[in-house]
Structure 1
Amino acid sequence: MNKGIYIGAAVGVLAVMVFTLGGKERQPINTALPDQPSFAISTAFDGRWEGERIDISGDKICLETRVIGKIEQGKVELTLMYNNTVLRGWISKDGILALYADSPRWGYRFAGTAQNNRIDGQWRVTNAPCHGEWYLEKKLT
């Protein structure tokens, strides 16, 4: 008798899961890079940039990493070196960055502001406890 109750409960839970999840497309974890920014871009910050992303969550999966990249014609392309995630976007005349990650696994959100030869900002991951600060310094050649 008890066995029948457990089987019935398991079938019921499975039916609810299929009904709830069935037919829904999986949503991307990161917003796609738009064709163009919603602001005027700036070439004042063009050049090569290097820095790091610092985690303050303390979680073991949140590794610190070097960040390297470039800004050309106001278009930003940065790489997180530990997993090769690419952040692409633009920089405004006010130095505000709009960045979009290409990671299929992690929901990266990076915000930053450039001033002179330095970019400072905050970052987080939507599907993990990781968050912290990041910075880049312009490489003078």
Structure 2
Amino acid sequence: MISFNYETEFSLNNEKALADWISSVIQAEGCKEEEVNYIFCDDEYLYNLNVEFLKHDTLTDIISFDYSLGKNIQGDVFISVERVQENANEFNVSFDEELRRVMVHGVLHYCGYKDKSEAEEKLMREKENLYLERFQ
């Protein structure tokens, strides 16, 4: 089950389409969807999580807590809508496109993809682009 939660005034207007899309990504990666919670928040909320749980004193657009067991996908994906908007402006893309990129990025981590090395980051970006093209 894909669920959406809000810790800020932001809300999605196409939850069903996004949930179906994320489910299709999980299935295409040969994994089983259990429970993935997206929590949309502001910079301050995500910054506090970053400091408390990861000991990183920086702003970020996404933090994902992976509770997956093997191919059974579950976790919490926290997204700062303020960071997403700033990144969309910086990369000259729409807010919705950047939001979908961040959303699929989080679930791809749960499917086993990493982005620490240059090669891993390249593969992650290729997968993001593939699935972004498939969003209906």
TM-score, normalised with respect to structure 2: 0.29
Q: TM-score, normalised by structure 1?
A: 0.28
Greater share of strand: 1
Larger radius of gyration: 1
